[in-house]
Structure 1
């Protein structure tokens, strides 16, 4: 039987140009929190990712599903050690627990949507990144000490957010 409607939950309409969208700078990438776990009762989150040439996270894995739809450009995904180039218009799903990473090796910027289910990645990014004014805002200039602190914080919080770096 389907549960009754929960009127305490409201419709969410996400638009990347909405002034209420929070943008995070993380390892040179910019992530817009379009739909948060708070808005979906923890079921999923949707993140708008702007990846400059050369950008992308280190190899990692986590116990939640992650799906990417490439909107602009192309991204090279490494999944269980095998490389796959994914171009605009395509969607790729990373199963929970599988080792992976992505990198923009195209020579141009790329943009993709990332959905994580259940949510949590949005909170992790908010805790380890730096808030910036928008999708086109420059990454903050961090000292070596500040960069080292961000890496340490990411490593320390990874297990809290069901992730590990490889």
Structure 2
């Protein structure tokens, strides 16, 4: 049986990397096989290097960014989708002027994040 997750979900979490994140759907909110995360980046905001055991899809909804995968940099403008294979070290940065908004989709309800540097856990 399907259901609606009412808005607002838990308060967005403002991080010291210039990123605000909010889980829109995950195990904590009742899903069993998928998760969806919304991120807002201030100018220069970023997600430090990390990886996941599952594939991740990133969708840039507005603004302009860069995605780094395995030390290779890719342009990430609004409307584009980044496909991050499992266990691929990656990071995301707002490289444009103004705010960048991005969705992250995971094919599991409680995706684990493996940070490359414990100091950067965010």
Give TM-score, length-normalised by structure 2: 0.82
Deviations 1:121-159 (A, max 9, x none): 4xxxxxxxxxxxxxxxxxxxxxxxxxxxxxxxxxxxxxx
Deviations 1:39-85 (A, max 9, x none): 211x1210111011111121122212211111101110001111111
Of Structure 1 and Structure 2, the greater helix share is in 1
Runs of 4+ in 1 over 2 A off after TM superposition: 18-22
Counterparts of residues 49-128 of structure 1 (less than 5 Å): 49-121=39-111
**Residue 164 (structure 1) shift:** 3.1
Structure 1 residue ranges without an equivalent (≥5) = 1-6, 122-160
SS of match in other structure, 2:12: strand
Whole-angstrom CA distance in 2 between matches of 1:69 and 1:84: 13
Corresponding position of 1:154: none
Of Structure 1 and Structure 2, the greater strand share is in 2
Q: Between the two structures, name the one with larger relative contact order (CA 8 Å, sep ≥ 6).
A: 2
